[in-house]
Each structure stands twice: as C-alpha cells, then as structure tokens.
Structure 1
Amino acid sequence: MKLIKVGGAVLNQIPLDWDHNKNNIVNSIKEAKNQGVSVLCLPELCITGYGCEDAFYSPGILQTAKEMLLEILPHTKGIATSIGLPVLFQNRIFNAAGLLVDGKILGFVGKQHLPGDGIHYEPRWFTPWQENTKGEIKIGKETYPIGDIVFQLDDIKVGFEICEDAWVSSRPGSRLHKLGVDLVLNPSASHFAFDKLEVRKRFVLEGSRTFGCSYIYANLSGNEAGRAIYDGGTLIASSGVLQAVGERLTFDDYKLTTAVIDVDNNRLNQAQSSTHYKFADLTGICFKIPFEFPTILPEPYKNKDKQWEKSPFIKEEEFARSVSLGLFDYMRKSRSRGFVISLSGGADSSAIASLCYLMIKFGVESLGLEKFKAKLAYFKELSDCNSVEELAKKIITTAYQPTENSGEVTRNAASKLAEAINSDHYEFNVNEIFQNYKQIISNGLGRELTWATDDIALQNIQARVRAPSVWMMANIKGALLVSTSNRSEAAVGYATMDGDTSGGLSPIAGIDKAFLREWLKWFEKEGIDGNMKLPALKAVNEQQPTAELRPQDSHQTDEDDLMPYEVLDAIEEAAIRDKKVPVECYNLLKTVFPDYSREQLKKWTIKFFQLWCRNQWKRERYAPSFHLDDKNLDPKTWCRFPILSGGFTRELKTLEKYDN
C-alpha cells in the first residue's frame, strides 16, 4: 500500500487583514506538519479573504497578495500546501490556487467556473480560466506556470477543482481523471445555507468515486465580510468513501481535519473503471518536483458506523449555531463592545436576544472561557468575567420601551427573558416623548391627531421614538445596535423605517416569521441536546405577534394587519424566489390552503404584490443581514428589484377577474 496523510484546514479570515490571514495560514500549516500531513488544502482566496468586493480591482491589493505569498512560502518546507489568491495575468484578474511544495512555488491553477447568482458576484472581478490553456506568471524574481495544469509530487499527481468548478456538470475533474490524477484539491468559499452540507458531500463523494481518486474539500469558516457565514466542514473522501468530516460552525481561527488515503487502492479503482480509456498526453501540463512522502501506517477506518452520513445538526440547531457564529464574528471584527436590543417582549427581539446569549454559550463551549475573552481582548470590560452569565451582563444590553399602548404581557415576557439570559436590562418609558411629538404636530396642523384619521402616523411615531434611546445606549457602551425586523415583514414593508429597522446589523432579516416562532418554541422546550434551552420563552410563545402600537382595546395583531404568516411566506416563496406571477401564486395557494376561501386567498395575493412593490425602498435601507437560505430579500446581494415599478398592475387585474 502507498499511504499518505492529507489534510484540509478551514480558516476564519478577514478581507484585507493581511497579518491576521497570514497568521491563520501559517498556524494551520504548522499544525498540519506537526500531525504528519504531507498535502494540505486551504480555502479559496485565503490570502486576501474571499469578500474583498471591488478592492480586487486594486493593483496594490494584487501586489500585496503576491508579497504575502512569498512571506508564507518558507513555512511550507516539508509539506505541499495549496493557497488561494487573486492574480493578474494578461491584464485579467483570475481567482487562482497556488501549490507551494517544500518551500518552493510549483505553479498556479485558475478557477474555470465563476458563480454569478444570488450572493455570488465573481464574474464582476474575475475572468474564468479557459480549459486546456496555460501560461506563465512572475512572482518576485521567478516565473511559474499558470493554467489548467496538473502537478506531480514524486509519483503522486495532484489536480484542482476550485469551489464552483465542482458544482457544474462539466467539472474539471473529468479531465483530471483522464490524466490519472491521484488527488483532487478543492479550495472553497462556500457560504452556509440550510441543508447545504449534504449537497457538498454528494459532489465530493461522487467526484472521488467517478474519478477514482482521493478528494479534499476545504472551506472558509465564520462571518468573513459581514453578510455570508461560512460553516467550515472539511470533507475528505477516497473512491466514493467518506474518510473524514471536519467540525462545522466552530469559533476557532483555524481547524485542521486529516485522513490517511491509500493511493494504490485509488489507482486500482481507476484501472477497473477505465476499460475504454484513451491515453492523455501529460506533456506541457504536468509539472514535477521531487517530494519525499513519509512512511505512514494505516489508520482505523473512521467511518465504519456511518456517523457522517447526515448532518449532526437539525435545522433549528443549524440556525442557532450559524447566527451565533455570525454575531460573534461581526461583533469582534467590527470591534463592537456587545449588542443593544430593543426588547419588546415579542418574537423577533426575543429571538435575537436568545441568539446573542447562545453566541456566548457556544463560544465558550467551543473555545473555552479564556480563549473566548482573548478573541475579544479589545473589550477590556470582559477581563474579569468568570462565567457565561457574567459575560452576558457585559455583552448583552436590553431595553423595554413602553408607551400607553403597551401591556403587562409584553413587559412580563421581556423582563423574564432578560433575567434568564442575564442581560443588562432597562425600562425606558417613551410615552411622554410620543405625546410630545403628537402635540407638536397637532399644534402645527391646528387639529388633534386621532386614530380614525392618522392611524399609520400614530403607530409609526411610537416605533420611532424608541430608536434614539437605544442608539444612545449603543453609543455609550460602544456596542452594536441590532435591528429586529424579520424577512416576512421586509417582504411587505410591515416595519417602521428608523424605528424597529434601526441598527447596524439585522441578523434575522433573512428568516421568515413562521420559522422564528417555531424556533422559539423549540428553544423553550427542547433546545440543544435537550438541556441547553430557555423555559423563560414561554411568556413570549404564548402571545400572538403584535406591533402593540394601537390602543389595547383594538386587540391589534400582525396577522390581522397582514394575513396569516404561513400564507404570506408561501406567497413570498412563490413570487420572489420562484418568480411566479400573481395568478400562478393564487393557484398554488388554492392547493396548499384549501381551508381558506378562494376570495380570501385572492385578496391576500393581491395585497402581497401591492405591498411588495411599494416597499422596495425600505428593503434598500435595511441594515446588513445574514444569508441562511435561498429566500433572502437583500437587494444588494441577493434579490434585486426596482424601487419604482409598474407594480404588477396588469397581472393583478388579470387575477381580479380570474375564477369569476
């Protein structure tokens, strides 16, 4: 048997933070060498960070990336390491992976398929590398090959599929198979989404089986640039068998996963699947270097109990862990000293407060108390904290801000939750401010404002007068004010600009209300492993969602103002994600919700489209949100829609006459 030990490392990088990124790269290489790894795969664009946006156009950035590569080079003595960076070649910028072997640069491979959908925008900055082409690039004083090439370390042939290359039908691995490649490296920057791990496993397993090789997939980790959360999860497979899966959603700067692969067994599998093999000429595309692979003893088969066949997290836990990690990285990378939340006692703000608490719990669980504090060293007030509860008191600030239309139910819910998570909790009664504004405008207009004539104005001013006090608390504490709006509200504009949308981060703006409500019930009663739960959420979960802005005798609820959230979310998914016109949405609702009358479903469909079109300007002003699935409404990175439009006028007229 020819056995070699390989590894993949996930890195928590920061765009353009050269020293931070270099340290993570170097430390992961050191760890790999300490564990006897011969070939190490690191993530895509790990030198610069993946999310540099238009900074990729800067000649200075491209030059610095090459300088950092040369600084990292001496650390690769005794190991082969792939490192991602942008390179300029023939006046085009390419997303490339360099292979550094035993302290030398062997060459670079260019990414062939660039994602340009959803959150991805790579074709804006990069040019796709053409199949079967190669060239030369100068780094420092030396010239190296670049292109669609294969590397040979001793007698081990190594090829690349860079992230999206593996997600397309014409993946480069098919050609690598014809060249007899033993090991495929996949440096990736694949953002978190629900159930996405299973998709990655399929292409890694299928690639290793079809190509008869070993396959290493290495991803980024954490909230790198603000919106995308990367979940890590290194994958190593050989000939269709998963050998190792790295831990996901950790708070570490880097995390190494290793496995021992049997090269001879892979070659035998290639031989058995190549009865119609046509010889491929390696001349000019395979670059060789002597490399000594140490003698490796077989490791026990790690996957014998199929423990990695499914994600270890259910959706509720994935949501909790991904947003918690996103919050932690956003806080520390923006150097904010905690979070301020306007805690209304309702579902949205309660979910965010709970997630901030989980951020601390998961962070301490993942890193340990001292390392958790060390990663927040700028936040000096945490230095004397000795428990999760003490950390929570310093990191989480909550404020309940009632007016005359607020009730004891929400006050009680907010108070109980704040006590349970040990937040620094306040109550700021803003009713006098509300009344002052009301009187000022009444005096100016020369008439009294009433609910009969000024409903929306009176509701919105209550939401807006709550913003200055929590902004002031955020400024005093040097903390980040968190906006509490969800995706269902964003879709129809059921939010007050400069009120509940105030904040520097909107962590649940990508999540629908129905899921949030179910998640809160799960966290109240079940939680993580049956013990990390929050019974205090019972007071929140017993309520019907309400803005609590009209007089209490109106018994205001969100669903009375809008429509049932399950209906709203179904229309949003069909109309926005699936791009269906109003009649198509209505026909879908008739099937999914047979208990509602057709006339009612038609009215709700019309209402959704009208509100959607009128409120694009609000979505344009939302604070950055996290991407968690394929239904995000962020107009800057996911769902573009004109601020001014015809508003589906023709389509809605067609719907009004439909079924008549």
Structure 2
Amino acid sequence: MSTLRIYSAQINPIVGDFAGNAQKILAAVQEAREQQADLLLTPEMALTGYPPEDLLFRPALQERVQEQLDYLASQVTDITLVVGYPVRYEGQLYNAAGILHQGQWMGEYFKACLPNDQVFDEKRYFAPGEQPCVIKLKDMHLGLLICEDLWHPGPAKAAVDAGAEALLVLNASPWHQGKQHERVQLARQRVEPLQVPLIYCNLVGGQDELLFDGASFAVNAQGELQASAPALEEAGLITVLEKQASGVILLPGNKAIWPEPLAYLYGALVLGLQDYVNKSGFKGVVLGMSGGIDSALSAAIAVDALGKERVTGVMLPYHYTSSMSLEDAEAEARLLGIDYQVYPIAPMVDSFMTGLEKAFAGTQRDTTEENLQARCRGTLLMALSNKLGLMVLSTGNKSEVAVGYCTLYGDMVGGYNAIKDVYKTLVFQLAEWRNQQGQVIPQRVIDRPPSAELAPDQKDEDSLPAYPVLDRLLEGYIELDQSAADLLAEGFSEEDVRRVIGLVDRNEYKRYQAAPGVRVTYRGFGKDRRYPLVNRWPVF
C-alpha cells in the first residue's frame, strides 16, 4: 500500500511578472518540502498570472516563459511540480500544465475546453487541446484538467478512460457570491459517475476587476468534501491519496471553515482593493467623505485593505451639505483613525458660476448646477491625487452606476471603486456587518435616508424608486436578462419598469468611463456585460 502526498498551493501571482511568479512557485516548493509532499500542484497559468489577456500576443512571451521554466527545472529536482503557463507549438498557443519530475519536464497537458462567455475570452488566444494527460507517480495514475475542463464531462471521462485513478485540476476561477459552493457541487457531479477522487487548486488574489478567492478543496470518489483550504488568502492544502486493492482513495484532511456570506463578500472587496493598489504601486488612496453610507463603507474597506496610514479622507462641503453630514464624516474618520481634511468648494463653484453667468443667462437652475458641484469635487480630488501620489477611490455603488445616478468627471473620478458591483441594499448590510466586528461607521449614517445633497432637502428616492424595488429590478434586468414583460409579470409597476430599464440603457456611456472595481455578482459591469453605446433595442 503506497501513499502520495499532494500540496496544493493557492498563490497570488502578478500578471506578467514571470520572475516574481516563479519565485512564488519556488516558495511553495519549499513549503511542500516541509510538508513532506511528493507533488506540488499550482493554479492555472501560475507562471504568468491570470488573465494575461493581450500580453499573450507579445512576441517575447514564449522566450520569457521558457526562461522561467528552465529556471524552475534547475531548482526543483526532489519533488514533482505541476505548473500552469501558456505555450506555443506549430503556430498555436495553448493554455498548458507542465509536469516537472526529477528536474525534467516529463509531459504537458493542453486545456481542452476554452471558456468564451461572461468574463472569459480564451478562444481569442488559445487553441483547444485534444488529448488527455495521465502521469504515473508512486504506482498511481493522475489525470490533469484545467479549470473549464471540469465544467464539461468530456475531459474528465477522457482522463479516466486513459487510466487516471485521480484527477488534479489547476484553476483560475473568478469568484462571485456563492461561487465557492458551486465549485464543490460541480466536482461532486463530475466524480460520482467516474468514481475517482479530485483535487482542486485555485488561484487567489485580485486582478483588475476579477477576484480569485482560493478556497481550494478535495473530494473523494463519492463527491464528499474531504479537505479545504482557507478562502481569500495565500495558503496550501495537503491531501493524501492512498493506493489500495480496490483503487486509489482520498484520505480525510484538514477542512478550513469558509466565511459566511457577508464576511466572504466583505473580504473579497478588501482583497480586490488591496491587490489593485499594491500591485499597481500606489502609496495609498484618497477619497471623498460625504457623510453618506457609500463613502463610509468604502473608507472602511480601504482601511482594512491598506491600513489607516495609507488612507486620506476629504470632506468637500457646499451650501447644501448638512451639519449632520459634516459631523458624521468627521466621526467616521476619527473611528477609522485616518488622515481627514476639509476643503469647502463654494469658492470654486462660485468662480465657475461667475464665469458662466453670461452663458446661463435666462435659463432655469437644473442638474447642470448640481453636476458642477460634483465636478469641482472631482477636480479637487484629482489634484490631491496628482500632488500626493494617492489613487482616488470612487465610491458609487452598483445601483447608482446602473442608472447613471452619478456625475461624469465628478463623483465618478477615480482609479478604482471598491463597491462598484455592490447594490445599495447590500451596502447597508455590509455596513451593519462591519460595525458588528467593531464600529467604524456612525449608526446615524446607516439609519438616515440616502441623499446626494446637491440641492435643498434632496433624497435619492425623489429621483429613483425605493432601493429594495430598484435593486430587484436591476438584478432582474442586468444579471438575469429578464425582459420588461418578465418584470411586469412579477408585479412591478409599468412606470418603474420603463423608468429603470430606460435609465440603465441610456447610461451605458457613463459606465464605459467609470473606474474599474472588483466583480462580486454574477454579472458585473465591464467584461461581463458589453452593450453597444448606440442602439435602439426596444424596452417593450
């Protein structure tokens, strides 16, 4: 009876940092040695980071990949390493997994199923593999799969038909709410008819708008969860395969407890912002503190991601800014311990209004004047960003971004938006959850009616349906592709349906110019949803 110890390393690479990623892999090799592992399994495209997108078209790609593969071969001679990378053969580029054994590359597997929906464009870059890959180690036959291969029955069956007694899966699986449980269920569906255990190693970390959550795991031949790694952090998972007379079985291992939904979501937002800022090389962030819940939650996420020393909050009051907002913004800054500054914008707005007096003569006050306030704030924040080297963090939630309840070159300025894919109703829930861990948001901010404070006594619901109604309409139209007729059948008023769908469609141009933000829903704005700016798709 023989055993095989496998160390799954969910690492956090940086796209394009070939040498740095190779060092991360070598650090994982050392950890695997300390765990007395026989094999180290890394995530999909671990050597390049994922997704490398059009960097894959660069002429120097193959040379840089090969340089690091040669380096790994010179450094790893005492443990079997499975690593993901792109490789070109006969003019075709493949998403590959290579097997390094005793310092020699003994085989490669090419990803067979290439995702080309939601956030994926793999058919733009890769050719599909056509052959299974089964390696023998300690009298056990191990079949390799790469991410999307698991979502289709063919590749797993082909590996088992070729002799695989267990499946090893390299993954770069982006997270959205609940995705961690979907993967386990998928693995169960795949192995039950094949009766082989499966080990799933996933990438971790933020890459632009995508968030990879780790949460690697292993299931036995019956699809039962036997081991799991922590979520949202670099970690390793030891799993043990044992060869018995009846075949290869997976022994029970450690099971990390994954966070409950709100904690998972909050942690994902923190990790997404943290990696975007740190991987991009910013010193820190600056954000407008309005006294409202969106900027309050964004500031809390920023502090948890970067530390209070790297976050600057700026209050930019005007005539319509209430004393309550001034007090609450200052109170939150004090609770978070961040640098906090106040710059009244009235002199700037008045200067613009004086300069535009002739052009505006004979017109009525409207949203133009409101937008001017927001744009003065945006200009000031960008000036601070340029002078201090801090990235501007914009703070608009998904509900606002969806319907265009935001101002181009105003509150939309910024390099990143931590809550871009978080609906307003969920913003409130996250604020409550964060306060349960230690109060950082004044309760009055959560309790008061939301307002942009760009006009006297203004409230969001003066211009929009109540947020519970709005968010359900948005979820149906954006994420579920429900039609107006579908939404009417659910009992929503025709007025609300026409209004919300019209706002979503008319404001696509704003979203094209919005800052990126981590995707946490099933369909975020960006890679996930690509609509033409000019179109006449009928609402009804």
> C-alpha deviations, 1:81-102, integer Å up to 9, x for none?
1111111123111101011111
2:162 to 179, 184, 193: 179
Contact 1:174 1:211 in 2 (8 A): yes
User: Does the 8 A contact of 1:239 with 1:266 survive in 2?
Assistant: no
Aligned partner (choices 333, 336, 357) of residue 421 of structure 1: 336
Structure 1: how far apart are the matches of 2:246 and 2:193?
Answer: 11
User: Are 1:486 and 2:378 counterparts?
Assistant: no
Higher-Rg member (1/2): 1
* Structure 2 unaligned regions, length at least 5: none
The residue that corresponds to 1:628 in the other structure is: 520
CA positional deviation for 1:178: 2.8
Alpha-carbon shift at residue 47 of structure 1 (Å)? 1.0
Offset, 1:209: 4.3
Corresponding position: 1:538 with 2:443: yes
Conserved in 1, the CA contact under 8 Å of 2:5 and 2:241? yes
- Contact kept, 8 Å, 1:230 with 1:249, in 2: the verdict is yes
Matches within 5 A, 1:331-342: 331-342=277-288
Q: In 1, Cα distance between the equivalents of 2:282 and 2:58?
A: 28
Aligned to 1:172, the other structure's residue is in SS state helix
Which deviations, in whole Å up to 9, do the C-alpha atoms of 1:330-373 show, x marking residues without a partner? Answer: 1111110111010101111111001112224xxxxxxxxxxxxx
* Aligned residue identity for 1:81: L
- The 5 A counterparts of 1:125-524 are 125-130=125-130, 147-168=131-152, 170-223=153-206, 225-240=207-222, 241-250=224-233, 252=234, 255-264=235-244, 267=247, 301-302=252-253, 312-360=258-306, 391-392=307-308, 394-447=309-362, 453-524=364-435
**Pairwise CA distance, 1:206:** 4.2
Aligned partners of 1:548 and 1:556 also within 8 Å:
yes
Q: Name the SS of the counterpart of 2:25 in structure 1.
A: helix
Cα deviation for residue 568 of structure 1 reads: 1.4
Counterpart Cα distance in 2 of 1:37 and 1:603: 63
Kept after mapping to 2: 8 A contact 1:214/1:236: yes
The 1:321/1:268 distance shift into structure 2, 3 A limit, reads closer
**How far has the Cα of 1:424 moved from its partner?**
0.3
Amino acid across the alignment from 1:267: G
Which string of whole-angstrom CA distances, capped at 9 and with x for unpartnered residues, describes residues 34-67 of structure 1?
2110122101111111121111122311221122
Local SS of the residue matching 2:215: coil
TM-score for the superposition, normalised by structure 2: 0.96
User: Counterparts of 1:607 and 1:454 in 2: how far apart (Å)?
Assistant: 23
Q: Counterpart of 1:575 in structure 2: which amino acid?
A: Y
Q: Does 2:528 correspond to 1:638?
A: yes
TM-score normalized with structure 1 length: 0.79
The answer on whether the counterparts of 1:110 and 1:129 sit within 8 Å (CA) in structure 2 is yes
SS in 1 for 2:240: strand
Summarize the Cα distance change of 1:317–1:266 in structure 2 as closer, same or farther, 3 Å threshold.
Answer: farther
Note the C-alpha offset of 1:198: 0.8
1:420 aligned partner, one-letter code:
L
Mapping of residues 467-616 of structure 1, within 5 Å? 467-524=378-435, 526=436, 532-534=437-439, 536-551=441-456, 555-590=457-492, 601-616=493-508
**Residues in 2 aligned to 1:128 and 1:115: alpha-carbon distance in whole angstroms:** 10
Distance change in 2, residues 1:518/1:589 (3 Å)? farther
Residues 287 and 381 of structure 2 are in contact (CA less than 8 Å); yes or no, is this contact kept in structure 1? yes
What is the RMSD computed on CA atoms of the aligned residues? 1.9
Summarize the Cα distance change of 1:506–1:268 in structure 2 as closer, same or farther, 3 Å threshold: closer
Task: Give the counterpart letter for 1:178 in structure 2.
Answer: D
CA deviation map 1:522-563 (0-9, x unaligned)? 322x2xxxxx22154312112111010002xxx211112111
SS at match of 1:59: coil
1:468-494: CA deviation from partner (whole Å, max 9, x where unpaired): 222122222211101111111111111
Q: Is the 8 A contact 1:161 1:171 kept in 2?
A: no
Structure 1 residues 3 and 268: CA distance shift in structure 2, 3 A? closer
The structural deviation recorded for 1:149 is 2.6
Residue 29 of structure 2 corresponds to residue 45 of structure 1: no
Q: Write the deviation string for residues 207-264 of structure 1: whole angstroms up to 9, x where unpaired.
A: 44443333221111111x31111111221233234332111112x4xx2210222221
| Correspondences of 1:109-120 after superposition (within 5 Å) | 109-120=109-120
Per-residue deviation, 1:570: 1.5
Counterpart secondary structure, 2:407: coil
Q: Deviations over 1:298-353 (max 9, x none)?
A: 98x446xxx66xx6312211121111111111111111011101010111111100
Gaps of 5+ in 1: 131-146, 270-297, 361-390, 527-531, 591-600, 652-660
- Percent identity, aligned pairs only, is 26
How far the C-alpha of 1:108 sits from its partner, in A, is 0.6
Counterpart for residue 60 of structure 2? 60
1:9 counterpart SS class: strand
Larger displacement relative to structure 2 (487-496 or 179-188):
179-188
In structure 2, how many angstroms separate the alpha carbons of the residues matched to 1:446 and 1:180?
Answer: 82
